[in-house]
Structure 1
Amino acid sequence: MRCCAHIINLIVKEGLKEIDESVLRIRSAVKYVRSSPSRASRFQKCVELEKIQYKGLPCMDVETRWNSTYQMLEVALKHRKAFELLALKDNAYIGEMNGGKGKGVPSDSDWEYAESIVPFLRLFSDATIRVSGTLYVTSDMYMKEVFAIGRFIRHSCDSVDFSTMSMAERMRVKYEKYWGNPDSVNMLLLIAIVLNPMQKIEYVNYFLDYFFGEEKGGELKSKLSKCIKLLYQQYQSSEEASEADTQDVQANNINTDLHGMGFFLQATGRRTNTRSELDRYLQEECEPYSHKFDILNWWKVNSTRFPILGNMAREVLAIPVSTVASESAFSTGGRVLDLYRSSLTPRMVEALVCTGDWLKEDLFSALDDDGEVLQQVDQDIFSSNDGACSMAASIDNLDDD
């Protein structure tokens, strides 16, 4: 299955291919403020006069990191009044924004456009971070994020704002490419949602109808029901084989089977409960929805009631849904342009990344004749941050397919 975080990255990059001029004007305003200490000082005075509570300065974005554009717009919106005051007090700001390559001072419509797309980009940023965690993510998150993103894109395609609508339409094409084909839906990822006691099968069935229609959705629902029963039977047969061995021992040992229950079950082939665990689990009421719900702890507590399903959940929920950490999903720039070096220009970031790449290439060339040493150096480099940067850069340059 494809890496969830990487597909989200591709979808958003497709939507941001044609950046609106409003974003370019806001970017130019931020660049002006960050270009020198004196300008930053004048801007800080405007922030104080407007009594803006946010302490940080506007941050520049990096072209290879779409989430940095979202962060730039989010912080710039908090300083909107300061930028407007700067336009009244700083003639150099007006001159630079209107002259040369400047697109002009950000207008009210520019700020309104930024306000409209920031929630749009926040959804994708949060989704990437959620599926890229290493200590808390379970596989039921994958398709739930897919459903949430698909629903949001559909809603945005009907937006009255032309720029938002065109961005959503581009994203929808990319979304349909990876997640819009009902024949390529991974059944095991849907089963993972069924094993979440807050959603179960009704939640999945609803969204299958919503995204694929009654005909295709009905086929998928039927396929899902069949697959989960087959998987359950597979685990059940394994469990019964283990129980049979135990009962054989108990039936032949009067000391451990005083009342003859094991002997009775073995002789008659009867089970103590005719309803399967799967039926009992699905017929129970769903747990109340909560963002803080601990699905693994729930199965730990309830595995005594559902031992077979507990074994299924332990293995199905452990499937990794992302192959990279969140920063690598956005780009290698996140490892170079950190919070302490956020004023680096895109040109300087490119120089740092390329120089690290070239230095590593020279090292490999020098050691090319010695295979064992080369292999050891390879392991050392890729265990370091520089190696991680190079690997992330390679991921960034991969083709969509």
Structure 2
Amino acid sequence: ICKDLRPYSSVENEGFRALIAECEPRYTIPTRRFITETAVPRLYDEVKRHVIDSISKASRVAITCDGWTSRATQSYVTLTCHFISENWEMLSYVLQTRVLFGSHSGHNVGELLLEVFEEWGLTAKEPVLVTDNASNMVIAAEHAKLLHVRCFAHTLNLAAQRALKTTAVGRLLGKIRHIVTFFRKSALASQVLQEKQKLLNLPKHKLMNDVPTRWNSAFDMVERFLEQQPAICATLLSAEVRKNAKELWTMSDTDLTNAEDVAKTLRPLKVATLVMSEEKTPTVSIIAPLQAQLCQGSAEQPDDSGIVKEVKRALAQDLGKRYSNKSFLQMASALDPRFKALPFLTEGGRDDIFAAVGREAAELSEVREHEEHEGEHEGQTQPPPCKKSCALSDLFGETFSTELEQASQPSPITQAMIEVNAYRATEPLELSADPLNWWRKHEGVFPLLSNLARNTLCVPGTSVAAERIFSTAGDIVTAERSVIKPAHVDQLLFLNKNLKMYQRK
């Protein structure tokens, strides 16, 4: 029921009961009420305790948050939690799926976040909030006093949508969409298309239509159209299709060239979206270099066609105005051994970022040292033993011992800058390598920087983790289960996503 999202009523189905009776006639199948009110809640409580215990060991967490609407038109907000474990493994949990009553104002969402932080013990973990670019999410982060990172996948979607809405691209997509719709509605045309694909030795792929809310669906539609263009042209020119078609649109050579140019220009955004959707490797460190790379690639060239210039102009204008708080993103890139060269910054800019990294690492070290001392004092039941006295110690007091101690233990900021210089001198990591594995091996060499890296690289660059819950939720709140209670939706989503981690313990 939890792993496969089978309805609670499965235990009452005639076929299921017959199967169990055949496998083990002596087994008594639990009732639907027992599953709903006892078994699932009990398992939920067990897994929740495990999740809270796992999160308690994290030094910092990141939260992704997004809203969705069920078939019963109830508004839900789902939150996921991400952090890096002590052995440098990226861990992710679904925390909660709550119904949000009233308006989705930034204040209401912010209050919800504070309640969830309190319930799951996240308040002291300095949570970082990752959401889309919606204004209510920005206000919610300000209300909860959280560092806010905007989802880069959503940012790419906004930039690409702006490019797709330019006049020339809109007209081109309209022509392709008209032809694709004709093939999807005509069984005869689809059959002839398959024959032409076989004759021309083309992949037997179906034509794709676009979805307004997903720019990459328009890109996929154009790419598939270009891939199948020889078969499409042959089909539209065949006598049997022309005889049964009331109207057929054809693409001129200029249209085809424009389609190829648009696909080529937007392809880096599609690759970037796929890269940012990873959940097991750090992605926040990719945002700054990727944004710089895309902005550079959007610069107009003298030999660009008119439609390409329109697309690049729209992309450059939209991407250039995003991410006002670039210092955190650039620090994240500096702490990723793949991108620590920071080639998108000037030499002075690189020095400033690494100076900020050193200060942050030193401050984090001082905070942790202070917390450890407080913990020692709280756990101390007896006064510390008195130091043995001697004539020299009575004469000189702490003068020489203090000087020796200071000489042997540099200040946190000095130690941090020593580590920063040594870190910058190391060879950059290959782009295909795992930065967390690198930090696992070098944690002893860079103790201060590694602590800061663990606190920074745990932040996902997108809110994709929360958005992926929507498809799972659609398997729970179906038309047949539209009256399922919100508490059961929360339990099933939580268990479906977290059971695997719980069973690994």
Q: When the two structures are superposed, what TM-score results if normalisation uses the length of structure 2? A: 0.54
Whichever structure has more strand as a proportion of its residues is: 2
Show the counterpart of 2:263: 118
* Alignment partners' CA distance in 1, 2:190 and 2:165: 30
* Alignment partners' CA distance in 2, 1:335 and 1:70: 27
* Alignment partners' CA distance in 2, 1:271 and 1:243: 20
1:63 to 2:216 alignment: no
CA drift of 1:62 comes to 2.0
CA drift of 1:222 comes to 6.2
Map 1:148-297 → 2, pairs under 5 A: 148-154=293-299, 156=300, 160-179=304-323, 184-200=324-340, 202-203=341-342, 206-209=343-346, 223-238=352-367, 267-271=404-408, 276-290=417-431, 292-297=432-437
The question of whether the paired residues in 2 share the 8 Å contact of 1:133 and 1:326 is answered with: no
Cα deviations across residues 154-199 of structure 1 (Å, max 9, x unaligned)?
2x565521111112212222222224xxxx2331211111112233
Show the counterpart of 2:151: 3
Show the counterpart of 2:252: 107
Cα deviations across residues 290-344 of structure 1 (Å, max 9, x unaligned)?
3x21000000000011111111111111123222349769xx89999xxxxxxxx
Show the counterpart of 1:48: 198
* Alignment partners' CA distance in 2, 1:384 and 1:243: 39
The question of whether the paired residues in 2 share the 8 Å contact of 1:94 and 1:105 is answered with: no
* Alignment partners' CA distance in 2, 1:334 and 1:125: 24
Show the counterpart of 2:445: 305
Cα deviations across residues 82-132 of structure 1 (Å, max 9, x unaligned)?
1122233245348848x3xx6x21122222222112132222222223223
The question of whether the paired residues in 2 share the 8 Å contact of 1:59 and 1:72 is answered with: yes
* Alignment partners' CA distance in 2, 1:271 and 1:333: 57
Structure 1 residues 157 and 252, CA, compared in 2 at 3 Å: closer, same or farther? Answer: farther
Map 1:373-392 → 2, pairs under 5 A: 377-381=485-489
Partner of 2:298, secondary structure, is: helix
Unaligned 5+ runs, structure 2: 1-147, 377-383, 389-399, 494-505
| Aligned partner (choices 211, 216, 224) of residue 75 of structure 1 | 224
Superposed CA RMSD: 4.0
Structure 1 residues 301 and 288, CA, compared in 2 at 3 Å: closer, same or farther? Answer: closer
Aligned residue type for 1:33: F
Partner of 1:207, secondary structure, is: coil
Higher relative contact order at CA 8 Å, sep ≥6: structure 1 or structure 2? Answer: 2
Show the counterpart of 1:319: 459
The question of whether the paired residues in 1 share the 8 Å contact of 2:159 and 2:319 is answered with: yes
The question of whether the paired residues in 2 share the 8 Å contact of 1:199 and 1:286 is answered with: no
Unaligned 5+ runs, structure 1: 210-216, 254-262, 337-352, 364-375, 386-401
* Alignment partners' CA distance in 1, 2:307 and 2:244: 28
Structure 1 residues 159 and 46, CA, compared in 2 at 3 Å: closer, same or farther? Answer: same
The question of whether the paired residues in 2 share the 8 Å contact of 1:327 and 1:335 is answered with: no
Partner of 2:282, secondary structure, is: coil
Structure 1 residues 252 and 79, CA, compared in 2 at 3 Å: closer, same or farther? Answer: farther
The question of whether the paired residues in 1 share the 8 Å contact of 2:337 and 2:428 is answered with: yes
Aligned residue type for 2:276: V
Map 1:330-349 → 2, pairs under 5 A: none
* Alignment partners' CA distance in 1, 2:225 and 2:491: 37
Q: When the two structures are superposed, what TM-score results if normalisation uses the length of structure 1? A: 0.67
Structure 1 residues 311 and 288, CA, compared in 2 at 3 Å: closer, same or farther? Answer: closer
Structure 1 residues 244 and 380, CA, compared in 2 at 3 Å: closer, same or farther? Answer: closer
Structure 1 residues 223 and 379, CA, compared in 2 at 3 Å: closer, same or farther? Answer: farther
Aligned residue type for 2:422: Y
* Alignment partners' CA distance in 2, 1:107 and 1:96: 19
CA drift of 1:6 comes to 1.6
CA drift of 1:289 comes to 2.9
| Aligned partner (choices 137, 162, 169) of residue 14 of structure 1 | 162
* Alignment partners' CA distance in 2, 1:38 and 1:168: 39
Aligned residue type for 2:191: S
The question of whether the paired residues in 2 share the 8 Å contact of 1:157 and 1:169 is answered with: no
CA drift of 1:12 comes to 0.9
Structure 1 residues 55 and 168, CA, compared in 2 at 3 Å: closer, same or farther? Answer: same
Cα deviations across residues 186-240 of structure 1 (Å, max 9, x unaligned)?
312111111122332x42xx4234xxxxxxx95x556534422321221343466
* Alignment partners' CA distance in 2, 1:78 and 1:271: 67
Aligned residue type for 2:160: V
Partner of 1:289, secondary structure, is: coil
Partner of 2:322, secondary structure, is: helix
CA drift of 1:67 comes to 1.1
- The percent identity for this pair of structures is 22
* Alignment partners' CA distance in 1, 2:261 and 2:472: 25
Show the counterpart of 2:272: 127
Show the counterpart of 1:393: none
Structure 1 residues 222 and 286, CA, compared in 2 at 3 Å: closer, same or farther? Answer: closer
* Alignment partners' CA distance in 2, 1:80 and 1:190: 43
Structure 1 residues 327 and 224, CA, compared in 2 at 3 Å: closer, same or farther? Answer: same
